[in-house]
Structure 1
Amino acid sequence: MLLLPATITLRESRDTLQLLTQALQSAPGEEVVIDASPLAQFDTSALAVLLECRRLAGAWGKGFSVRQAPPKLAELARLYGVDALLFAD
C-alpha cells in the first residue's frame, strides 16, 4: 500500500506524481492500493495525480484503488464524476 503525503496542491503535484510513479513501478502484486488518509490539504491537482496513477497502473497491467479518502476528497471526486474510477466499493 502506498501512502499519499499530507498535501497535494498544484505546487506539490509534479513531485508527488514522480514519487508515486516510481513506487508504482516497483509495487509488487497485481493491484496498487493508495492510502489517502494522510491527505489533509489538497485541490483538484490531487485528483489529477490519482487519475494519472490509475492510468499508469492500468498500462502496467495492475488494478488500482484509493482507500481511506478524506470525505472532502471523495466529495470532490463525485463532483467531477471520477469517484468510480478511483475508489473501491
Structure 2
Amino acid sequence: MLVLPQMLKHEQATACLAMLTQAMRQEPPEVVVDCGALTQFDSSALAVLLELRRACLHDQKTLTLQACPERLSTLARVYGVLDLFAPVSGDAPAPQDAATLA
C-alpha cells in the first residue's frame, strides 16, 4: 500500500510523484493509496494522483484511493475530474469506501 504524506503542496509534488511512481512499480496489480494522513494540500495533490493514475494505467494496474479527505473530493469536483475518483470517501479505509481509478 502506498501512503500519501501529511503535506502535499506544489513544493513537494515532484518529489512525491517520483517516490509514489517508483513504489507503485513494486506493488501488485491493484495499487492502493492511503490518503488518510493528507491534511495540508493544494491542487498539486490532485495532479500527483492523476499522474500516478496514468502511470498505473501504463503498467496495466488499477489505482484505489482509501480515506480520501472531503476537501480533495471537492477539488476534484471543481476541476471536473471527480468521476475519475468517484466514489470518494472520507471515512476510514474499507473496501466499500474505496475509489477505484481505472
Paired AA for residue 81 in structure 1: G
Matched pairs, number: 88
Give the fraction of aligned pairs with identical amino acids, expressed as a percent: 44
Q: What are structure 2's unaligned runs of at least 5 residues?
A: 87-98
Q: Does 1:85 align with 2:84?
A: yes
What is the TM-score normalised by the length of structure 1? 0.92
Q: What are structure 1's unaligned runs of at least 5 residues?
A: none
Q: CA deviation at 1:86?
A: 2.5
After superposing on structure 2, the runs of 4+ consecutive aligned residues of structure 1 that deviate more than 2 Å are: none
RMSD: 1.2
Counterpart in 2 of 1:63? 62
> Per chain length, whose mean CA-contact separation is higher, i.e. which structure has more relative contact order (CA < 8 Å, sep 6+)?
1
Paired AA for residue 22 in structure 1: Q
| CA offsets 1:14-60 (integer angstroms, 9 cap, x no match) | 110010011111112x2111110100100000000000000000000
Where in structure 2 are the equivalents of 1:1-89 lying within 5 Å? Answer: 1-28=1-28, 30-87=29-86, 88=99
